A and B are shown apart, each in its own frame.
Chain A
């Protein structure tokens, strides 16, 4: 008799959502988390009265999350107090000029038309294409398994409109953007978003161009911080008997005859179960926790062939003034080609850029309870990466912070340097140490076409019986709704195959 029906490794969104859903199936579930907190990259921490978000800064495309909560017998909105962020974004150029996009499609068209009337007209064409594609993707792609070509065929069969969008998988993000937007000032508002998926616009399929549209379907911030989302799943799961243990590191997945038998913790304790759900990086899972000796040759070659996704640094700032910003999210303007140049000249060569760009998240714009009265919080995501040429993040971090803050003070957030009360930074190396993300890879594995769907590690492992994968490593990939979708998919597969 096994100790538990299911052991979940990792309490990120994929782990806690699958754990709760499996508990709903009446299974005895144990979730093991190496850190002291829930949520992984979708978490929050407090310092000196300020609440900062570890990584994820908003949630959008919430349908997969709603489906998961509905299956738990509740609703996302009942479990988490969602604050809508409108406007969805302000784009700040280096000359100080700003362009703000409200949620409304029409008002955004007006904002674009004020810069470029022809791009304003094409915005509607772009919206038409992406709204239909998003509908198809949510209906057949994000919430269905993609483990095999049969699964893929089922997706196409479920919604034949999929065929219409095949060009979006062949063309690049940049191709799509440059087809619909010609004015460089508008293109500068659409370039950075490809990095949400860890690749530059030239290297990522055009399907990801849906993001500049989906932001207009609604961008939300959970009152109390991003941690409220995994906390809600934990709460639902615990009501159903799910147990969560923190500060508990899994050292090995016990495998015999290519079948899971449980896990071994770092203190040598063994916990048995015939089902293990992994919410950690798939390369770490297969190569370190399971071991190459248990893997067929093809699987060894396959898992080693994935590159890690890009890491990012985060700078957390507590302020004693209201920053002169306009939206929850502000982007530093950069064209798609500018992002490509950054990738080829900086990321690939390990040289941090002098003129950086990135994302400014202002959560106290939505939720004032995250800071003392009159104070504010900024979570900054300036561009950066794990491998630095001739140096490392422990050495580089102080210079990186100073350079970033000074630049933002100059053209984006005047007065920033004079009002900092709390300052913290998590480099890609810190993410590797604290959250055990190899190379700080927040999206686990590369997210391009040859590492997507049936070519991403399967939700139901073919190599090891009883092993299921969730999180950024599994289909549909990294992000808040997508990792929760992976938990939803894995729990559905377990319900189907593991009676």
Chain B
């Protein structure tokens, strides 16, 4: 049940992402790209 729920959420996420405009996708990609740097940046 839990697996189905997870797959459902991932599937819905992929569907929503695929409906976004190219600009929106780039905005999200750029945010995601910078997530690993948030902790180091906090200490600068």
Residues of A within 8 A of B (CB): 148, 172, 174, 200, 202-203, 282, 286, 296, 298-299, 301-303, 305-306, 337, 340, 344, 448-451, 454-458, 462-463
Q: Is the CB of A301 within 8 A of B37?
A: yes
Which residues from chain B contact A463 at a C-beta distance below 8 Å? Answer: 43-44
Interface string of B19-44 (1 = CB under 8 A from A): 00011101100110011011111111
Which residues from chain A contact B43 at a C-beta distance below 8 Å? Answer: 296, 298-299, 302, 462-463
Kindly provide the distance from the CB of B15 to the nearest chain A CB, expressed in whole angstroms: 20
Kindly provide the distance from the CB of B41 to the nearest chain A CB, expressed in whole angstroms: 4
Name which residue of chain A comes closest to B25, CB basis: A202
Q: Is the CB of B42 within 8 A of A454?
A: yes
A302–B39 alpha-carbon span in the complex (Å): 8
Which residues from chain B contact A203 at a C-beta distance below 8 Å? Answer: 23, 26-27, 30
Majority SS at the chain A contact face: helix
Query: Which of A200, A296, A450 is the one whose CB lies under 8 Å from B41?
Result: A450
Q: Is the CB of A455 within 8 A of B41?
A: yes
Which residues from chain A contact B31 at a C-beta distance below 8 Å? Answer: 449-450
Q: Is the CB of B40 within 8 A of A298?
A: yes
Which of the listed residues B23, B31, B35, B37 has the most CB atoms from chain A within 10 Å of its own CB? B23
A202–B31 alpha-carbon span in the complex (Å): 12
Query: Which of B23, B35, B41, B44 is the one whose CB lies under 8 Å from A337?
Result: B23
Closest 10 pairs between A and B when the two form their complex, measured CB to CB: A302-B40, A202-B23, A450-B34, A305-B37, A302-B44, A301-B40, A302-B41, A455-B41, A298-B40, A457-B44
Q: Is the CB of B37 within 8 A of A302?
A: yes
Name which residue of chain B comes closest to A344, CB basis: B26
Kindly provide the distance from the CB of B20 to the nearest chain A CB, expressed in whole angstroms: 11
Show 29 residue pairs from A and B whose CB-CB distance is below 8 angstroms, ordered by the A residue: A148-B42, A172-B23, A172-B27, A200-B23, A202-B24, A202-B26, A203-B23, A203-B26, A282-B44, A286-B44, A296-B43, A299-B43, A301-B40, A302-B37, A302-B39, A302-B41, A302-B42, A302-B44, A305-B41, A340-B23, A344-B26, A449-B31, A450-B37, A451-B41, A454-B42, A455-B38, A455-B41, A457-B44, A458-B44
A203–B35 alpha-carbon span in the complex (Å): 15
Name which residue of chain A comes closest to B23, CB basis: A202
Which residues from chain B contact A337 at a C-beta distance below 8 Å? Answer: 23
Name which residue of chain A comes closest to B30, CB basis: A203
Query: Apart from A203-B23, A450-B38, A454-B42, what 14 extra A-B contacts exist at CB < 8 Å?
Result: A148-B42, A202-B26, A299-B40, A302-B37, A302-B39, A302-B41, A303-B44, A305-B37, A337-B23, A448-B34, A450-B34, A451-B41, A456-B41, A458-B44
Which of the listed residues B26, B39, B41, B42 has the most CB atoms from chain A within 10 Å of its own CB? B41
Supposing A450-B34, A450-B35 touch, asked if A306 and B27 sit within 8 A by C-beta, the answer is no
A305–B30 alpha-carbon span in the complex (Å): 13
Which residues from chain A contact B38 at a C-beta distance below 8 Å? Answer: 450, 455
Kindly provide the distance from the CB of B23 to the nearest chain A CB, expressed in whole angstroms: 3
Which residues from chain B contact A202 at a C-beta distance below 8 Å? Answer: 23-24, 26-27
A450–B27 alpha-carbon span in the complex (Å): 12
Query: Which of B22, B27, B34 is the one whose CB lies under 8 Å from A305?
Result: B34
Name which residue of chain A comes closest to B43, CB basis: A298
Residues of B within 8 A of A (CB): 22-24, 26-27, 30-31, 34-35, 37-44
Which residues from chain B contact A303 at a C-beta distance below 8 Å? Answer: 44
Which residues from chain B contact A456 at a C-beta distance below 8 Å? Answer: 41
Q: Is the CB of B37 within 8 A of A448?
A: no
Kindly provide the distance from the CB of A202 to the nearest chain B CB, expressed in whole angstroms: 3
Query: Which of A174, A286, A305, A306 is the one whose CB lies under 8 Å from B23?
Result: A174
Kindly provide the distance from the CB of B13 to the nearest chain A CB, expressed in whole angstroms: 16
Q: Is the CB of B41 within 8 A of A306?
A: yes
A148–B35 alpha-carbon span in the complex (Å): 17
Kindly provide the distance from the CB of B14 to the nearest chain A CB, expressed in whole angstroms: 20
A200–B39 alpha-carbon span in the complex (Å): 25
Kindly provide the distance from the CB of B37 to the nearest chain A CB, expressed in whole angstroms: 4
A306–B33 alpha-carbon span in the complex (Å): 12
Kindly provide the distance from the CB of B22 to the nearest chain A CB, expressed in whole angstroms: 8
Kindly provide the distance from the CB of A284 to the nearest chain B CB, expressed in whole angstroms: 13
Which residues from chain B contact A296 at a C-beta distance below 8 Å? Answer: 43
Kindly provide the distance from the CB of B42 to the nearest chain A CB, expressed in whole angstroms: 6
Name which residue of chain B comes closest to A302, CB basis: B40
Which residues from chain B contact A200 at a C-beta distance below 8 Å? Answer: 23
A450–B44 alpha-carbon span in the complex (Å): 13
Which residues from chain A contact B27 at a C-beta distance below 8 Å? Answer: 172, 202-203
Which residues from chain B contact A340 at a C-beta distance below 8 Å? Answer: 23
Kindly provide the distance from the CB of A322 to the nearest chain B CB, expressed in whole angstroms: 40
A8–B30 alpha-carbon span in the complex (Å): 34
A337–B26 alpha-carbon span in the complex (Å): 13
Kindly provide the distance from the CB of A290 to the nearest chain B CB, expressed in whole angstroms: 12
Name which residue of chain B comes closest to A170, CB basis: B31
Which of the listed residues B26, B27, B34, B35 has the most CB atoms from chain A within 10 Å of its own CB? B27
